[in-house]
Copies of this chain bind each other. A is one copy, B any other.
Amino acid sequence: MKDVIENKLKLRSVKPTAMRLLVLQCLMEQNRALSLNELEALFENADKSTIFRTLKTFQENYLVHRINDGSGAIKYALCDDDCICSLEDNHIHFLCTKCEKTYCLKDTPITTPSLPNGFRANFANYLIEGICSTCT
């Protein structure tokens, strides 16, 4: 386990501090998008701003992407190893209104819409709200 986590950091040239290993592990285990508060609650003793800066470092190095799911708090989810957070890496995010969990639907294909003349897309955020499979 630990090897995998440390490897992910090395792959992105991020130094493996204790906090970084913990946060990364959490994100891998939970397999969903987590907010700063959720992460803070999972550790209990870590400072929120440290986690914030950890996530910031992760973003800057394409380890996580941030998701605006309309819940009021930004969620963070693991990137794939080959992710460069471009339009091509974009995928649907699903917020379950029952369990409040947000998932990356990386296997659900999106057909790129053809925008009106003159509009050019750089980034997309496709958020779907509903009931997830475990809450059905």
Q: Which residues of A contact B (CB under 8 A)?
A: 68, 70, 92, 94, 97, 105, 107-111, 113-134, 136
A131/B120 contact (C-beta < 8 A), A108-B113, A115-B94 known? yes
| Contact partner, A120, options B110, B124, B136, Cβ 8 Å | B136
| Contact partner, A124, options B107, B118, B123, B128, Cβ 8 Å | B128
Write the nearest CB–CB distance from A4 to chain B, whole angstroms.
Answer: 25
Q: How far is the CA of A94 from the CA of B132 in the complex (A)?
A: 27
Q: How far is the CA of A127 from the CA of B136 in the complex (A)?
A: 27
| Contact partner, A128, options B111, B123, B130, Cβ 8 Å | B123
A108: nearest residue on chain B (CB-CB)? B113
